[in-house]
Amino acid sequence: MKDLLGLKDLSAAEITEILSVAADMKKLLLKREKSDCLKNKNVVTLFYENSTRTRTSFEAAAKALSATTASISASTSSIQKGETLLDTGRTLKALNTDAIIMRHSMGGAPRLLAENVDVSVINAGDGMNEHPTQALLDFLTMQEVFGSFEGLRVLIVGDAKHSRVVRSNIWGLNKLGAKVTVCGPSTLLPVELEKMGCKVTCDLDGALDGQDVVMGLRLQLERQSSGLIPGGEYHDFFGITEERLKRAAKNAVIMHPGPINRGYELSGGAADCEESKILAQVTNGIAVRMAVLYLLIGRK
Ligand code: CP
**pLDDT attached to residue 128:** 96
Phi then psi for 185, rounded to 5 degrees?
-65, 145
pLDDT tens-digit readout, 56-76: 999 999 999 999 999 999 888
Q: Nearest 5°: phi and psi at 180?
A: -105, 135
Which residues on neighbouring strands pair with residue 70, listed in sequence order?
Answer: 44
148 lines ligand 1 (CB under 6 A): no
Q: What is the predicted pLDDT for the residue at 229? A: 73
From 89, 108, 105, select the one nearest 44 (Cα to Cα): 89
Q: What is the pLDDT of residue 233?
A: 85
210-248, pLDDT tens digit by residue? 999 999 999 877 666 666 676 678 899 999 999 999 999
Sheet bearing 99-104, strands edge to edge: 68-73, 42-47, 99-104, 120-126
Q: Is the CB of 174 under 6 A from ligand 1?
A: no
129 lines ligand 1 (CB under 6 A): no
Alpha carbon of 297 to ligand 1 centroid (Å): 23
Distance from residue 131's CA to the centre of ligand 1 (Å) = 9
- Contacts of 6 by beta carbon, 8 Å cutoff, 6+ apart: 123, 129, 130, 132, 168, 171
Q: Is 132 in the pocket of ligand 1 (CB under 6 A)?
A: no
Report pLDDT for 219.
87
Closest ligand 1 atom, residue 124 Cα: 3
CA atoms in the 13 A half-sphere facing the CB of 136: 35
Q: Please name which of 200, 203, 235, 216 lies closest in space to residue 275, comparing C-alpha atoms.
A: 216
Give the pLDDT score at 119.
98
Q: Which of 46, 48, 53 to mutate to test the pocket of ligand 1 (most atoms within 8 A of CB)?
A: 53
- Ligand 1, atom 4, lies closest to the CA of 53
User: How high is the pLDDT of residue 208?
Assistant: 98
Per run of 10 residues, the mean pLDDT along the chain (length 300 residues) is: 97 98 98 96 97 98 98 90 95 98 97 98 98 98 98 97 97 98 95 94 97 94 67 87 96 97 94 97 98 93
Ligand 1 mean position, distance from CA 49 (Å): 10
The residue type of 145 is V
- Residues in a beta bridge with 214: 155, 254
Give the Å distance between the CA of 225 and the centre of ligand 1: 21
pTM value? 0.96
Distance 51 CA to ligand 1 centre (A): 5
